[in-house]
Amino acid sequence: MKEFPIPVVAALVGPGSQAEDETLDYLPMPGGMATFQPPLLPEPEAAAPCHQGRQVLHQALAALAAVQAEGGRRSVPLDGLPAADLRLVNQVLGEGEVSAVVQPAQPGGASVQVQESVFAGLWRVITSAGGVVLHDTLEVAAIPQALHEAALADAATATPPPRWTGALPPEVQNAPALLAEIDDQLPRCGPGQPAHVINLTLLPMSPADIGFLDHHLGTGRVLILSRGYGNCRISNTLRAHGWRVVYYNSQDVVILNTVELVDLPAVAQAAPEDIADSHARLAEVLAWVDGS
């Protein structure tokens, strides 16, 4: 009988004989997705004295119905609302997934803060200067008009950087070709036109290419943040209908980096179905607030 060619060493087999890592290193799990959370509603008895606040909420409900039926946009002013009534409005509306800011056009000028309510398509728009609120408005629309107007104003008044001449900076290779594509597509973009999306994630773009591209597109005053499964950061460029749209996962890692040539990016807008759903849900909430 021949000997077994590989010696068996008892010390190398059996439970506990193999070295193991003391800790297990798992990939990070995705975070939670932002979903609709109904606001914490006041008791009808507490809301009963807030006649103006309840009136404003019913005006918002009527505005949702009008936009659902006819399109366009409607506004409900909140200026001069008593503190208790304003608290009721804030409590019922809550905070939704999309927020935005428009920086002042000049130092000391007015800025605009936008917050979507938990009812998609119903926005809170506050214009202020020097820490003083100038206008406080509820707006029902796919997206507030102030964001659209600021983006167009930036493109109309800004002076874009001159075209690069001579040798390109080190590691810049593909950005000039993309700028030529953008210049070719922009005249075809506008209201009612489909978006032309340039997916930078799928292209061989170096950090220098990204910097070169952003420098020549410029950065405007509009910044929109959309929170859902991860985050989406949207900023206007100094080209009319040109937007930078960057998506992050729940670990704040960039998963999609794009340039969108469109009137307004769809990811930030409320769809008609959203407005119809918001009308139905706000009607249910007001039925509770009114005690009916």
Task: Show the 3-state SS of the chain.
Answer: CCCCCCCCCHHHCCCCCCCCCCCCCCCCCCCCCCCCCCCCCCCHHHHCCCHHHHHHHHHHHHHHHHHHHHCCCEEEECCCCCHHHHHHHHHHHCCCCEEEEECCCCCCCCEEEEEECCCCCEEEEEEEECCEEEEEEEEECCCCHHHHHHHHHHHHHCCCCCCCCCCCCCCCCCHHHHHHHHHHHHHHCCCCCCCEEEEHHHCCCCHHHHHHHHHHHCCCCEEEEEEECEEEEEEECCCCCEEEEEEECCCCCEEEEEEEECCCCHHHCCCHHHHHHHHHHHHHHHHHHCCC
* β-bridge mates for residue 116, sequence order: 123
Which residues make Cβ contacts (< 8 Å) with residue 138, sequence separation at least 6? 56, 59, 60, 63, 75, 76, 77, 78, 89, 93, 122, 123, 124, 125
Domains for the chain: give ranges and CATH numbers.
40-142+270-292 (3.30.1370.140), 143-163+171-269 (3.30.1370.140)
pTM of the entire predicted model: 0.82
Give the mean pLDDT per block of 10 residues along the chain (292 residues): 50 51 48 57 76 95 96 95 94 93 92 96 96 95 96 89 80 92 90 92 93 93 86 94 93 92 93 96 92 66
What was the pLDDT predicted at 20? 52
What was the pLDDT predicted at 190? 82
Tokens describing residue 12:
């190398």
